[in-house]
Amino acid sequence: MRARPNPLAWLALALFAAAGCTQPAADSDADITALLPAVGEGGARSIKESSSWSRATEPRTFEFPRDHGPHEDFQIEWWYYTGNLSTSAGEPFGYQLTFFRTGINQKPRNPSRWAVRDLYTAHFALSDIGRQEHYGFQRNRRAGVGLAGAARDKYHVFNGDWSVKLQGDVHHLQAVDGEYALDLRLRPTKPVVLQGEQGLSRKGALPGNASYYYSHVRMASEGTLTVDGTTHQVSGESWMDHEFSTSFLEPGQVGWDWFSIQLDNGHELMLFQMRRSDGPSRYRSGTLVDADGRSESLKTADIQLQPRALWKSPESGGNYPVAWDVELPRHSYRLEVVAAFDDQEMITAASTGIVYWEGSVVVRGQSGEGPVGGRGYLEMTGYAGPSFGPLLTGTANEAPTRAAGNAGG
């Protein structure tokens, strides 16, 4: 919201809630709170919004491949890849590889390369669907010393030896942690989709509480996954989101639900809703893409989302809706979206302190009078733990005159 969304500055880092596994010390920078400025009473460390960061307030002109790269005048940015893959024998897997950039201090006074202007966080997760096992990894590094960053003259985002590079029109993803790894090549099969209003995705009522957001909604994917030391040749389809913004969750907002769905009739669907402490907010949005790549923006009245089954996490205690009824009455879609398996929760005590659910889903239902099926990914934030981790705790959401307003990813 991101609500992947997946991405307000707020959303961005909630997504940062990565996997339940911790990293060896050598794979991460200092404890995240030590890298944040001291603000507020008692010297609590967090990010504070600043008027010096740019905001998403009106549609902009996108240019590619330039806009695949970083937008360092905005405080929050993420590059989000998810996908459903299988071996030649039909063994199913899901994956997530995400890179986050968080602006800490736009103009550090310290001239040292070790001064923290931007913090890069990355999440890497694999879902072994056949065995119902989920593996997740996370890392933090400051930019400036060559350990993490995003190139300005080409599409290359990296955090240590985790990276995405653009080679021609192919997105090359690599990540490895011990006996778990991916090495994938993704080729877009449809044009870039600008989410929301020509790429301006609103998350709330306050001016500027929005992100710039585009997606590759169907990418032919092939390569290798290594799970528990065994390497598998895989192929399938992936989804990519890129969002950048400067904004936080508004007062009363606690998280979001975000869906990316690839249907077997050649259509794709992105949906998200913001959630308040007392239930869904009026901010619900999405995009429907047809088989020829034409996209249509969906409004709140076009979308009906109803959770119908809960899974309680033994780790966090969060109650996640792992099955949903999704209807688009105006487009004659009635879908059931069900988790490929329940336990795909991500816990990020080592980086952002956020807990969220991000996992592979199976889709079945009706399109008009005919059956339709598909696969996708679901992200749910704000069901367990604090609404914000240390990166998003501050005074920003106490200032209703600031901030602005799809989410996902």
Q: Give the tens place of pLDDT for each residue, 130-182.
A: 999 999 999 988 776 788 999 999 999 999 999 999 999 999 999 999 999 99
Give the pair of three-digit tokens for residue 399: 């200032």
Residues 6+ apart with CB under 8 A from 171: 81, 155, 164, 165, 185, 186, 187, 188, 216, 219, 240
Instruction: Say if residues 45 and 39 touch (Cβ distance below 8 Å).
Output: yes
Q: If you search the block for the tokens 């990519």, which residue do you land on?
A: 240
Tens of pLDDT, residue by residue, the chain (409 residues): 333 433 333 333 333 333 333 333 334 554 444 444 443 333 333 444 456 889 888 999 999 999 999 999 999 999 999 999 999 999 999 999 999 998 876 665 665 555 566 889 999 999 999 999 999 999 988 776 788 999 999 999 999 999 999 999 999 999 999 999 999 999 999 999 999 999 999 887 777 788 999 999 999 999 999 999 999 999 999 999 999 998 766 777 788 999 999 999 999 999 999 888 776 666 789 999 999 999 999 999 999 999 999 999 999 999 999 999 999 999 999 999 999 999 999 987 665 667 889 999 999 999 987 999 999 999 999 898 765 544 443 333 332 222 222 233 3
**For 77-129, what is each residue's pLDDT tens digit?**
999 999 999 999 999 999 999 999 988 766 656 655 555 668 899 999 999 99
H/E run at residue 200 = strand 200-202
DSSP state, 397?
G
**Cα 216 to Cα 236: distance, rounded to the nearest angstrom:** 14
CA angle, corner 230, sides to 228 and 236, nearest 5?
100
User: How much is the pLDDT for 149?
Assistant: 93
Question: E strands within 248-401?
Answer: 253-263, 268-276, 279-289, 295-298, 304-312, 319-328, 333-339, 345-347, 355-367, 370-381
Give the pair of three-digit tokens for residue 245: 């913004």
Instruction: Say if residues 299 and 283 touch (Cβ distance below 8 Å).
Output: no
Residues 6+ apart with CB under 8 A from 57: 207, 208, 210, 404
Q: Is the preceding peptide bond at 191 cis, omega within 30 degrees of 0?
A: no
**Cα 308 to Cα 326: distance, rounded to the nearest angstrom:** 10
User: Beta strands 253-263 and 370-381: pairing type?
Assistant: antiparallel
Compute and round to an integer the Cα radius of gyration of the chain: 19
**Cα 159 to Cα 168: distance, rounded to the nearest angstrom:** 22
User: How much is the pLDDT for 350?
Assistant: 63
**Cα 329 to Cα 331: distance, rounded to the nearest angstrom:** 5
**Cα 239 to Cα 261: distance, rounded to the nearest angstrom:** 9
**Cα 381 to Cα 384: distance, rounded to the nearest angstrom:** 8
pTM: 0.85
Q: How far is CA 8 from CA 298, 312, 314, 370, in A?
A: 19, 27, 29, 37
Label residues 287-323 b or e (16+ Cβ within 10 Å = b): bbbeeebebebbeeebbebebeeebebeebebebbbb
Q: How far is CA 136 from CA 160, 229, 345, in A?
A: 16, 15, 9
